[in-house]
Structures are given as C-alpha cells and as structure tokens.
Amino acid sequence: MARINDNYLKLQAGYLFPEISRRVKAFTDANPDAKVIRLGIGDVTRPLVPAVLKAFHEGVDDLAKGETFHGYGPEQGYSWLAEVVAEKAYKPLGVELKTSEIFISDGSKCDSANLLDIFDLGNKVAIGDPVYPVYNDTNVMIGRTGKANEKGYYEGIVYMPCTEENNFTPELPKEKVDIIYLCSPNNPTGTAASKEELKQWVDYARANDAIIFFDAAYEAFITQADIPHSIYEIEGAKECAIEIRSFSKTAGFTGVRCGFIVVPEALMGTTETGERYSFNKLWSRRTSTKFNGASYPVQKAAAAVYSDEGWAQVQEVIDYYMENARIIREGLTEAGITCYGGVNAPYIWLKTPEGMSSWDFFDKLLNECFVVGTPGSGFGPSGEGYFRLSAFGDRENVETAVSRIREKWGK
Amino acid sequence: MARINDNYLKLQAGYLFPEISRRVKAFTDANPDAKVIRLGIGDVTRPLVPAVLKAFHEGVDDLAKGETFHGYGPEQGYSWLAEVVAEKAYKPLGVELKTSEIFISDGSKCDSANLLDIFDLGNKVAIGDPVYPVYNDTNVMIGRTGKANEKGYYEGIVYMPCTEENNFTPELPKEKVDIIYLCSPNNPTGTAASKEELKQWVDYARANDAIIFFDAAYEAFITQADIPHSIYEIEGAKECAIEIRSFSKTAGFTGVRCGFIVVPEALMGTTETGERYSFNKLWSRRTSTKFNGASYPVQKAAAAVYSDEGWAQVQEVIDYYMENARIIREGLTEAGITCYGGVNAPYIWLKTPEGMSSWDFFDKLLNECFVVGTPGSGFGPSGEGYFRLSAFGDRENVETAVSRIREKWGK
C-alpha cells in the first residue's frame, strides 16, 4: 500500500499568504470602491531593465536557428554566467571564487529547500525567529523535526529569537548545532548583519564544525558601506558557509527565475565513518541527477544584469525601491511608529502601535487605511507585535499609503 | 559536526554520459580530422518553431512594461497553460482533467526526482532495466536502497528486466511493490506499451494499492494509432497513476525548460495510521514550499506549442526526427543488425553485431565509423549487448552515419 510522507501532516495548515489573500478578498468584496494598496508580499513591481530585455530577446533568437540553438546546457549552469558572477559579484568584494563553486539555479527558494538533500537527517538545525517560512517548513517536510507545539515551534529545531531586545541579531546557540540559517539583509526584519556579527558566526561554525546557510537574496539593497554583501568577506567562511543569491529582487526576476548558490570546494562534511567529504562534490552530483539547468535565454538575461549598462539600470530600480523604503520608514517614524529596517533592505519592520497583535494591526490597516501588509507573527512567534511593509511598489501608492497611515496614527 | 547524506556514497561513480564524453574527446584529440557524428545523447537539434518563438518574445515583452509585468506566478503554474494542456493534450484522448490536477514545472527530470519527496521511504519501488538512470539514482540518494551489487542492482529495489525475450515489456512483479516506474514510449528501448499492457499495470496497481509513475515524455513521437498517449486512457488509472510529460522533446525545449505532471485528485495514499490522504494535496504543498513556478515567458512559449499553428509546426519537426528514425532503423536492419524501437519513439535500440559488449561496440563504432551512440549497459545490466542510437540530428548526418555503418557491417 503506497504510504505518504507523513512529515507533511506536521505542517501547520494556515500558510501566511493565502490567509492574507482571503482577508483582502473579503474586504474588497465588501468595499469594491476602496483603493487598496498592497505592500504585503515581497514581490517586485518594476519592469525588467532594457539591457536585460535585450539579452533575453537575443537568447530567444539563438534558439531560432540551428547554428545557435542550445539544447541541454550544463546542469550546474553555463560557465560564462558563473564567470560573470565571480568577476562582477565577488571579485570587487575581494572574494575569489572558481566557476566550479558557483551553481546557477532557477531561484533561491529551490536552492534553500534542495540544499537539505545533501545533509544527513541527524544534523541539528538552528533557525532565526521570525524567519522566511521555507527554512522551517522544508526541514519539517524532510523529516528532521517532531510536531509543532502550540507556539508553532517544531520539536528538534533550535530557534533563535530576533527581537527589539537583541537588535534582531540572533545569539549564538547554547547547545551545539550543525546547520545554521542566516539571512542578511534579513527578511522579514530588514536588518543587516555587520562584519563583526558575521565574524562571530563564522568563528562559531569553524569551532563547532557547523555549516552556515547564508541567504543573501537582498544584498543588492545594502546602502551602508560597512555591511558585508557576502559571508565570504569574512576570513574562513569558505570552510563553513554556503551562500545563496538571487536575481529575483536584484533585477526583477521573480517571474523570470534565476539564482545561484556558492558551495566552496573547501567546505567539508563528515561521513558516517568519520571521513571528510566535499559538499561541492555532493551538490554537483545532486544537481546533475535532479536538475536540468536554468533556461538558456534566462541565463543570457541574468548575465546582462552584470554588464556595465545592465548594472547601472538595475541600480536605478533598486534606488527607486530604497527611496520608497525611506518614505515609509521616515513617514511612519514621524507618525510615532517605531520602525526598523528599510536602510539595507526593502522591508520595514515596524512595532504595531498601541501594543496591537500583528493580525489586529493587519485588519485595522486594511479596514481603515486600505493598506495591505504582512503580520509579523506569520514569520514566527517572535514576530508577534511586529508588522512588515514592503518597499516594492509604485511611488504614488507608497506615498498615498504613508499619508493614510499618518492621518490615522499621526500626531 | 555537519554530517553528509551518506546515501550519495552508494552511487556508482561512472555516470554514463561523462564517460562517453571522455572517450569521444580522446578520439577526437587523436583524430582531429575525423568528422564525428553524435547520435548518443537524447538531445534535440532543431530550432524552436516560429509560433513558439513569437509567444516567447511576447512573454519577454510583457516584462518590459509595468502594466503587463509578471512577478511571482502561481507555483503550480499559470492556469491558462494548465487549461490549454487539459484541452489540447488530454481532451482529444477522451481524458478529462481539472487544471488543479496539472502542475507546470521546469521539466521532467526535476518532476520525476522530486516526486519521491511526498512518499514514505518504506515504499517498495519497482524499476525497469534498462532504464533512464534518474529513477534509480534518485531512489538511492533519498535513502530507499542499500548498496549496489556487482551487477549494479541496488539492494531494496525490484528490477524488471526488459529484453528481447519479453519484447522489452516488463513482467508484473512477483513480490508486492508500492511504486512502479513505467516509461512509454520507452527510453532507451524505443518500445511503446499497448493498451492491453497498460491495462494489466493499472489493474495490478489498483489491486495492490500501488502507484504508477508514468513517464510519457516521448508520447508525441507515437505514430501507431492504437498506442495510448496517456495512461489515463486506461479506465481506473486516475486512482493509481501520476503522469509526467515534457515540452523538451515534443517542442525542442531541452534548453528552455518546461514540463508538467498530472496528479489526479482521485489518487490516494495511506498515512501511518491507515487513513487515506490525497497525493494531489501533498504535491501542491510541496510545490508551494519548494518551487517558485516555471519562468513566465517560458510558460507563454509552452502554451503556444498547443496553438493550432504551433502544433502543426511542432509536428513537422517530430516528423523530421521520425524520418531520421526510419532511415536508421531500415538502414541498419538491411545491414543485418537487429533493431527495435524507432516507430513510436525517437530511439533505435539495436542488438550489437557479433555478440559484442555494449562498450566494445561503442568503441568500434566510434573508431571505425566515427559515430557516437550510447552503450545499452549504461542504462542497466539488462541493456548489455544492446546499443541506443538517437534520431535527433540533422538528416545529412543521419544518412552519413547509416551509410558508414552499412559499409562496415553491410552484406
């Protein structure tokens, strides 16, 4: 009798974004004339930039002629794209990577989820709280956890609370862990780790033979010069960290699908019999067997992001979003709302006014300001009492949203 | 200490295609003037058709303007593509599917590999031999097997030999199994299952509460009217089968990346406590959490495959490949070589002349005819003494390859 993977039944039913959609729909059905502004889901809104569009079209045109046709590409991605990434995304940071250490994928969600395949189930995992839900759910699905308690914490996972009290910076776990998820700039809190903070983690990982999954999907939004863009800016990180990057937010690729993951050749794990074994080799084998490479025209488009022209154009779009972030952050702060983030990330993480719960504030914001955001509690128990607003949106909408909020709560 | 997934170490080192590349490279380095013809790897060679190119470009153009921009799409794929698939790929076969039963993906390799996620490791799996290596390797990697024996069979898997003696049709397993991989039209043997044969499998699966993974990636190459294109043409199959389809071979998408998988709502598995649970729900949850949808312009291009214009153009390309298949099959048969397949599939599965081993024939064909094929033993122990030639290639090359082989072995 075919048995299902019972671990899926441990997942908590109400996924965040469907619940948001349900409440927004109920509201708009009841108030068809209300001009609702959506600053909830972290999805880009600006079109692809011209240099990327041109390369994308050229990639499609290559498939129109026998001489330039591309069938199966390397599962690990085309080396010309990996070369551009090494040269333009890492070399300027002082980080030298081989193309064999860079794996092109169809995006960060897949990468962060699939990464678990090459690790033994016995590894102890530490996850921030609040956090991007995929880290948690994929560990549940693969069978690393027990059931969730009433707070939503799964048995077997070490949670690292990130709140106002610790500046949203997780503390080093007291018990020994083998895998640590770090996301900087952080989704949802919008905070970014300093060099010193990352050094602590790298030192911890090396001392404990742990591996860091470093999710840097938002690194392009860093505006402060002293914030690292890559964990490999920290000495020794190549021996203990895998870095996940994406074109989704950097270049508006959420619908295009391209990302990459760095698995350094120096990164070693341990076999059952205590020998050292290369994670780069394992990941390459996994990729060869379970993936067929990202789409060829998409890889062409991704390479154009790092052309001089493309990068200048992409930077303009990022600046646009970060100006939105500034408008939200400053506007809400002036209205007396405590705000975090929004300086090195396109997310503003605010404390709900008057001690409201995250969902109460969600309802109030929707019903009275016609603005949709994301309740912090949806990202984990320590997100209760917080709320995420996204800077992805049109300027006019952002300005209207902020003035509606100021009107409601402003002094 | 971070432990690796030790199951990966059970995989046998020499993957088929890298070894072929190595031998071809050694030959071409030593014989730089030899005009080598590659009929080895099953990759398409003809450009995308005009209707698909047009839709692909339009999809890219949609991303150029704010009003038509598409960010994150549904992880399960756009419903307009699922509707086209239901309407054009299934309705004409008399098969009614809901769009919620069709999941758009970035290709069949990922789908057939990822599918294992939603099944318990305790399920007993039956796999054909010879077979597409991904079925076998992904079961090893996920931890369902013991080690391989000297033949290459992994402990814990039930192998179903497909040879000349049984017309390359696997027999029903004598022991009880829970998951059965069927591939029809078959890669590598080129044979296709009849309605009666598939009915036997559906009856077996229903009687034993087993699930069939039906890989129909080559269905578009079927030329005989009585061969089913979908397992759902068999009554009751929706209760016991998942079907995997791809645009890769049908429409030249090996570099573009799009496929789909059908998980009927009627398909149920069993939980630990003996309750019935929907695989469709599990797969949808897996998809939401571990995937972010196929690329938007790629889905636009895929939908155009099923437009009237697109389908007529795609059919011409398929006819071109199948004429290649006829030329190879008839040419080699006239040369006294026993050939199978090539009628409902783009693969010719030949018996090596003079009882040569698969690799000996590979070397001889490369060294004496400058033709690259795939040794049957690379697909499994029962492939020993067989050899696969692919009909994907240019007509002139195919004709030259056949005439060289006839010159060498012809009577």
Contact assessment for residue A302 and residue A81, using Cβ atoms and an 8 Å cutoff:
yes
A4 touches chain B (CB under 8 A): yes
What type of residue is B70? H
Domain coordinates of chain A in residue numbers?
8-47+310-406, 52-307
Chain B residues with beta carbon closer than 8 angstroms to that of A297:
56, 60, 256, 297
pLDDT at A49 over 90: yes
CATH of domain A52-307: 3.40.640.10
Tell me the C-alpha distance between B227 and B239, whole Å: 21
- Give the residues across from B231 on adjacent strands: none
With H, G, I as helix, E, B as strand and everything else as coil, classify residue B304.
helix
Mutation site, B116, B271, B289, B291, interface A, largest A CB count within 10 A: B289
DSSP code of residue B154: B
pLDDT in tens, A60-111: 999 999 999 999 999 999 999 999 999 999 999 999 999 999 999 999 999 9
Binned at pLDDT 50, 70 and 90, residue B34 comes out as very high
Binned at pLDDT 50, 70 and 90, residue A202 comes out as very high
Contact assessment for residue B20 and residue B278, using Cβ atoms and an 8 Å cutoff:
no
Tell me the C-alpha distance between A372 and B333, whole Å: 69
Q: What is the mean pLDDT of residues B26-49?
A: 94
Chain A residues with beta carbon closer than 8 angstroms to that of B113:
289-290
Which of A56, A137, A270 lies nearest to residue B2, judging by beta carbons? A270
A3 touches chain B (CB under 8 A): yes
pLDDT in tens, A131-183: 999 999 999 999 999 999 998 899 999 999 999 999 999 999 999 999 999 99
Binding-face residues of B in 166-205 toward A, CB within 8 A: 178-179
Contact assessment for residue A247 and residue A302, using Cβ atoms and an 8 Å cutoff:
yes
Q: What is the mean pLDDT of residues B114-137?
A: 96
A302 touches chain B (CB under 8 A): no
pLDDT at B12 over 90: no
A256 touches chain B (CB under 8 A): yes
**Residue B411: what pLDDT?**
58
pLDDT at A410 over 80: no
pLDDT at B14 over 80: no
DSSP code of residue B119: B
Going by their DSSP bridges, the two strands A241-246 and A259-262 should be labelled as: antiparallel
pLDDT in tens, B63-95: 999 999 999 999 999 999 999 999 999 999 999
A231 touches chain B (CB under 8 A): no
**Residue B18: what pLDDT?**
78
Neighbours of B273 (CB within 10 A): 7
Tell me the C-alpha distance between B8 and A41, whole Å: 37
Burial degree of B397 (CB within 10 A; 0-12, 13-18, 19+): middle
Mean per-residue pLDDT over chain B, rounded: 96
Residues 6+ apart with CB under 8 A from B410: B334, B335, B336
Contact assessment for residue B212 and residue B240, using Cβ atoms and an 8 Å cutoff:
yes
pLDDT in tens, B306-323: 999 999 999 999 999 999
With H, G, I as helix, E, B as strand and everything else as coil, classify residue B115.
helix
**Residue B41: what pLDDT?**
80
pLDDT at B350 over 60: yes
**Residue A375: what pLDDT?**
96
Binned at pLDDT 50, 70 and 90, residue A386 comes out as very high
Contact assessment for residue B48 and residue A63, using Cβ atoms and an 8 Å cutoff:
yes
Mean per-residue pLDDT over chain A, rounded: 96
Q: What is the mean pLDDT of residues B107-119?
A: 98
Binned at pLDDT 50, 70 and 90, residue B13 comes out as low
The C-alpha angle with vertex A272 and arms to A266 and A275, in degrees rounded to 5, equals 40
DSSP code of residue A219: G
| Domain B9-47+310-409 -> CATH class | alpha beta
* Burial readout B149-163 (b: 16 or more C-beta within 10 A, e: otherwise): eeeebbeebbbbbbb
Percent of chain B with pLDDT over 70: 99
Residues 6+ apart with CB under 8 A from A253: A48, A107, A246, A247, A259, A298, A301, A302
A78 touches chain B (CB under 8 A): no
Q: Helix, strand, coil proportions of chain B in percent (round to 5)?
A: 45, 15, 40
pLDDT at A14 over 80: no
Binned at pLDDT 50, 70 and 90, residue B17 comes out as confident
B293 touches chain A (CB under 8 A): yes
Percent of chain B with pLDDT over 90: 95
- Give the residues across from B161 on adjacent strands: B129
Q: Do B6 and A119 touch (CB under 8 A)?
A: no
Residue entry with tokens 């397949």: B341
Residues 6+ apart with CB under 8 A from B39: B328, B371, B372, B373, B389, B390, B391, B392, B393, B397, B398, B401
Binned at pLDDT 50, 70 and 90, residue B19 comes out as confident
- A8-47+310-406 fold: Aspartate Aminotransferase, domain 1 (3.90.1150)
Compute CA A13 distance to the chain's CA centroid, rounded to the nearest angstrom: 22
Backbone φ, ψ for residue A209 (5° rounding): 55, 40
Q: What is the CA radius of gyration of chain A?
A: 22
pLDDT at A18 over 90: no
Tell me the C-alpha distance between A319 and A322, whole Å: 5
Tell me the C-alpha distance between B212 and B204, whole Å: 10
Binned at pLDDT 50, 70 and 90, residue A378 comes out as very high
**Residue A218: what pLDDT?**
98
Q: Do B4 and A292 touch (CB under 8 A)?
A: no
B103 touches chain A (CB under 8 A): no
Chain A residues with beta carbon closer than 8 angstroms to that of B179:
2
Binned at pLDDT 50, 70 and 90, residue B286 comes out as very high
- Give the residues across from B260 on adjacent strands: B104, B245
A203 vs B152, more confident: A203
Task: Give the Å distances, CA to CA, from B66 to A47, A405, B62, B218.
Answer: 5, 26, 8, 39
Binned at pLDDT 50, 70 and 90, residue A17 comes out as confident
Backbone φ, ψ for residue A295 (5° rounding): -55, 135
- B68-307 fold: Aspartate Aminotransferase; domain 2 (3.40.640)
ipTM computed for the complex: 0.97
